[in-house]
A and B are shown apart, each in its own frame.
Chain A
Amino acid sequence: MAGLAAAFGSGAMTNSTPEFSQHTRCFLITGSNTTETHSLIASHVLKAKERGATVVVIDPREVQIGRLADLYLRPRPGTDVAWLNGLMYVIITEELADQEFIETRTEGFEEMWRVVQGYPPERVEEITGIPAEDLRAAARMYAQNKPAAILYAMGITQHTTGTDNVKSIANLAMLTGNLGVPGGGVNPLRGQNNVQGACDVGGLPNVYPGYQAVTSPEAKAKFEAAWGVEGLPDRVGLSVVEMVNAAGEGRLRGFFVMGENPLLSDPDIHHARECLEKLEFLAVQDIFMTETAQLAHVVLPAASFAEKDGTFTATDRRIQRVRKAVDPPGQAKADWEILCMLAQRLGAAGFDFASPAEVMDEIARVTPSYGGVTYERLDREGSLQWPVPSADHPGTPYLHREKFTRGRGRFHAIEFQEAAELPDEEYPFILTTGRIMFQYHTGTMTRRSPKLEQEAPEPYVEMNPEDAARIGLDGARRVRVISRRGEIEIAVRLTERIRPGVVFIPFHYAEAAANVLTHAALDPVAKIPEYKVCAVRVEPVAESET
């Protein structure tokens, strides 16, 4: 979320889910398979649509939410900055921009315009394949129906240009004055249930809880005092992909993994396995024996969400109570309990918590945006949206109301860059990967839920029938998908949902993990691996081979 933080000073979803059905008059949805991955957010879009809101979907893959779209554009994958600049070109040249907002609330407009000038719709059509007239229509719909909300997900962030994509989205929303109003905003939809919370409380290599930089001497002093320790590290740590690589190079020797399956979610799975096998010590704390746990030296049995108390923070900054319903099986324990026990084994002070409520009291003391959060309030008020700086603050449904967190919103001038790996003669298809509705991230939980497993039992690759004819599929049901990094054999489904030249694999399946194929080029700022685009070749597998 580095892109949003640079533009606004805060990296979270600016608005609230319920505002979509209440206030929003136009949606621009991109890189998000909203209907399948965030169904109940999609249902607010649906309600808005019923009362007349306009929906524009821009996505290379025909996503289900495209069916509700008034206008649906399918760019070539990896060209987001180009069409975003194109939309801005149209809005500025047709005088649909919000001049007052630009003058009073933002900075950097001129520099941005100098770059955007180079993106008239005809040029954008050449880059993206979006017809110039359709791009103009989309720009008018978005600019003329206020408030307008932009919704996006990992389709936008999982590129080497992910941070640029997000800055461009922020540009577009500022240009039209769609910030600081209910029903507008820039709304990244987080995939897993508590990504927002994990980031908020410091589960990142560069920040303490509340996004306080580890490199800031004030923050260091503050946390040394709060935690009663000295010598907190002041250099930014390694990201998950860097940690896995460091393990491969022998620089990282001990790895403690709580509730994650990095082996399966790493973009290059062969490489990840080789790296993790080199560790001197790997401890994994989880509810199931995951692929990563199988490599561990010690496996600690954890409690599931139904077996512990705590809080999750939803994608719209909504802090909510998780409540214990049943006891964990056997000797399994909640992660918070295991961590406290481990810290006490290490002789560390500051981990003698009797309950998660006490942990939240400490979080509130050190995290300004959570300052007014207590279990008592959550029990009484249901949920609180951060920032909730004090006990008498009601919480914040939408951000940047009178000014941006950083003062003025900042426009960024962003040129389009091609994705790191493009198709060529040898690898003529673009592979994109993503989520489908019935499976969740690496599938550790859903694949053990019989109903969900039934809905999508087998991994597959989606391909356009035109392409199938071109590669001589000739009725074969299985194909080999080959990239520069590896190959997998997989069932093929022919569908018009996917545009010619592009193939799609959901990434939940261990037996044909799409990540064997994908590309580990990193976004230089956000360090998000480029899952979404890599070049592959597809060959039919003869029946006799299977």
Chain B
Amino acid sequence: MDYRNILTICPYCGAGCGLYLQVLDGEIVGVMPDKEHPVSQGKLCIKGWNAAAFVHHPDRLTTPLIREGDSFREASWDEALGLVADRLTHIRDTYGPDALGFLVSAKCTNEENYLAQKLARAVFKTNNVDHCARL
């Protein structure tokens, strides 16, 4: 039996409360507040207490998918990324960089958002980069 508490941050709102994910044999079994956290000070709201409820949900996407007609078929990473790379490159080469757009995400980490905007700007040469949550 392997039990660990992993200190992390609530994924729900900008308050940024601290919490521990309780992990038993590779599965999250609970959430605990972080007493030392300067904002949440050992408390969480109902969303924080349920922060991990969707993580092991059966609807999670588990494999790359490629459209075929009206449905999707499973694909390997190699095939899916190859297709993304080819199609984006083709559109840029045919219509110019500003025919491409990139949405980054307020749910992703700083590192991921940084890489996504770097990909748009440095590789595809477009500033069409935004996210939905400035809204």
Report if A194-B106 is in contact (Cβ < 8 Å); known contacts: A243-B130, A310-B112, A325-B6. yes
* B101 in contact with A246 (CB, 8 Å): yes
State which size class the interface on A falls in.
35 or more
The CB with the most chain B CB atoms within 10 A, among A302, A308, A445, is that of A445
Give the CA-CA distance A531 to B97 in the complex, in Å.
Answer: 31
* A198 in contact with B46 (CB, 8 Å): no
Give the CA-CA distance A199 to B64 in the complex, in Å.
Answer: 28
Give the CA-CA distance A154 to B82 in the complex, in Å.
Answer: 40
* A339 in contact with B63 (CB, 8 Å): no
**Which segment, of A102-110, A133-141, A330-338, A496-504, faces chain B?**
A330-338
* B102 in contact with A251 (CB, 8 Å): no
- Point out the residues of chain A lying under 8 angstroms from B72, CB to CB: 299
Report if A280-B101 is in contact (Cβ < 8 Å); known contacts: A194-B110, A227-B118, A298-B66. no
Report if A39-B128 is in contact (Cβ < 8 Å); known contacts: A237-B98, A260-B105, A332-B60. no
Within 11-49 of B, Cβ neighbours of A (below 8 Å) are at: 11-18, 21, 23, 26-28, 36-40, 43-49
* A260 in contact with B131 (CB, 8 Å): yes
* B127 in contact with A193 (CB, 8 Å): no
Chain B contact residues: over half helix, strand or loop, or mixed? mixed
How many residues of B are in contact with the other chain, CB < 8 A? Answer: 100
* B62 in contact with A332 (CB, 8 Å): yes
Report if A312-B16 is in contact (Cβ < 8 Å); known contacts: A18-B39, A40-B43, A331-B62. yes
Report if A198-B108 is in contact (Cβ < 8 Å); known contacts: A205-B129, A206-B127. yes
* B122 in contact with A348 (CB, 8 Å): yes
* B122 in contact with A339 (CB, 8 Å): no
* B64 in contact with A359 (CB, 8 Å): no
* B61 in contact with A301 (CB, 8 Å): yes
A542 at the A/B interface (Cβ < 8 Å)? no
- Point out the residues of chain B lying under 8 angstroms from A288, CB to CB: 54, 57, 59-61
Report if A203-B118 is in contact (Cβ < 8 Å); known contacts: A312-B109, A325-B6, A334-B112. no
Q: Which residue of A lies closest to B79 (CB)?
A: A298
Give the CA-CA distance A223 to B56 in the complex, in Å.
Answer: 40
**Which segment, of A142-150, A167-175, A184-192, A420-428, faces chain B?**
A184-192
Give the CA-CA distance A147 to B3 in the complex, in Å.
Answer: 46
Give the CA-CA distance A205 to B98 in the complex, in Å.
Answer: 12
Report if A326-B61 is in contact (Cβ < 8 Å); known contacts: A192-B107, A205-B127. no
* B7 in contact with A201 (CB, 8 Å): no
From B66, B106, B128, give the contact of A297 (CB < 8 A).
Answer: B66
Within 86-115 of B, Cβ neighbours of A (below 8 Å) are at: 87-89, 91-92, 95, 97-115
* A254 in contact with B101 (CB, 8 Å): yes
Report if A286-B14 is in contact (Cβ < 8 Å); known contacts: A209-B114, A260-B132. no
* B15 in contact with A258 (CB, 8 Å): no
Report if A326-B27 is in contact (Cβ < 8 Å); known contacts: A256-B101, A304-B54. yes
Output the least CB separation between A385 and chain B (Å): 10
- Point out the residues of chain A lying under 8 angstroms from B103, CB to CB: 240, 243, 255-258, 260, 262
Q: Spell out A's residues near B (CB within 8 Å).
A: 1, 17-18, 37-41, 43-44, 154, 158, 189-206, 208-209, 214, 223, 227, 229, 231-233, 235-240, 243, 246-247, 251-262, 265, 280-281, 283, 286-289, 293, 296-302, 304-308, 310-316, 318-327, 329-336, 338-343, 345-346, 348, 350-351, 353, 356, 359-360, 362-363, 382-383, 437-438, 440-441, 445-446, 448-452, 455, 526-529, 531
Counting from the closest, the 8 A-B pairs by CB-CB distance are: A314-B16, A330-B62, A310-B109, A237-B127, A259-B105, A315-B14, A39-B45, A449-B53
Task: Identify 6 new A-B residue pairs, CB closer than 8 A, beyond the known A254-B88, A255-B102.
Answer: A251-B99, A281-B87, A299-B61, A325-B23, A329-B60, A346-B89
Q: Spell out B's residues near A (CB within 8 Å).
A: 4, 6-18, 21, 23, 26-28, 36-40, 43-50, 52-57, 59-67, 72, 75, 77, 80-85, 87-89, 91-92, 95, 97-123, 125-135
